[in-house]
């Protein structure tokens, strides 16, 4: 007789955690942000040079007013999410997952965790061709507030 094992389905995104990005993770974040498909969806398809990214990343993670996290799924890094504080404007969220990690509820969970940590109004600027991002931010409670050029502007309020 074979033993029966009950498998309880895992909730989507249940293994997702955020931790602060470290200086030594410059190339990891470059791989997420500079991927050709991410660049195309950002509306800026021009490649990012690694040297430019290194300077930006060092400056950016030194800015303690604007959190920058690595997204982990069951302890494995799969992407990054950051919130940029902006003078006289609402903070802006940006996220990029490795292509192998998309479509499994990880982005949704990471955005919810990031917004909960920030506790203020957060804006997402989503390229009009990025249906997956729009669906994900909408599922997180973001609401479209406007549009500029090719970008839909979405907002989340605590
Ligand atoms: C956009 C991104 C962060 C979304 O994260 P994700 O983990 O792939 O998305 P999720 O699996 O969490 O999906 C969230 C919701 O969006 C919806 N969704 C996901 N993929 C979709 C698709 N291709 N089409 C329509 N809806 C989709 C689902 O309804 C899902 O809701 P559910 O969790 O209730 O099922 C991720 O795909 C990514 O990093 N893409 C490349 C970079 C990028 O576009 N960044 C955003 C720039 S504004």
* Domain 16-121, CATH number (from 1.10.530.10, 3.40.1390.10, 3.30.479.10, 3.40.630.30): 3.40.630.30
Nearest atom in ligand 1 to the alpha carbon of residue 130 is 44
Is the CB of residue 87 less than 8 Å from the CB of residue 112? no
Asked if residue 66 has pLDDT above 80, the reply is: yes
Cβ-in-10-Å burial (0-12, 13-18, 19+) of 140 comes to: buried
H-state helical runs in the chain: 26-33, 36-41, 50-62, 106-118, 131-139
Domain ranges of the chain: 16-121
* pLDDT for res 75: 95
Asked if residue 3 has pLDDT above 70, the reply is: no
Tens of pLDDT, residues 5-52: 667 667 787 899 999 999 999 999 999 999 998 998 887 778 899 999
Phi-psi region for residue 157, left (φ > 0), alpha (ψ -120 to 50) or beta? Answer: beta
User: Which residue, by CA, sits nearest to atom 29 of ligand 1?
Assistant: 135
User: Which residue, by CA, sits nearest to atom 42 of ligand 1?
Assistant: 96
Ligand 1 neighbours, Cβ below 6 Å, are: 12, 38, 41, 79, 95-97, 102-108, 124, 126, 130-133, 135-136, 139
Q: What is the mean pLDDT of the chain?
A: 92
| 108 CA from centroid of ligand 1 (Å) | 7
């Amino acid at each position: 007789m074979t033993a029966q094992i009950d498998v309880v389905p895992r909730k989507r995104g249940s293994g997702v955690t955020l931790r602060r990005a470290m200086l030594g993770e410059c190339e990891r974040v470059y791989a997420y942000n500079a991927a050709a498909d991410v660049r195309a969806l950002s509306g800026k398809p021009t490649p990012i040079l690694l040297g430019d990214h290194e300077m930006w990343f060092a400056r950016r993670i030194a800015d303690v007013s604007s959190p920058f996290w690595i997204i982990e799924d069951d302890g494995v890094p799969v992407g990054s999410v950051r919130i940029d504080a902006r003078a006289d404007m609402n903070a802006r969220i940006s996220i990029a997952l490795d292509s192998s990690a998309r479509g499994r509820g990880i982005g949704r969970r990471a955005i919810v965790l990031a917004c909960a940590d920030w506790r203020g109004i957060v804006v997402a600027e989503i390229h009009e061709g990025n249906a997956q991002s729009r669906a994900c931010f909408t599922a997180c409670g973001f609401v479209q507030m406007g549009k500029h050029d090719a970008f839909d502007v979405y907002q989340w309020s605590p």
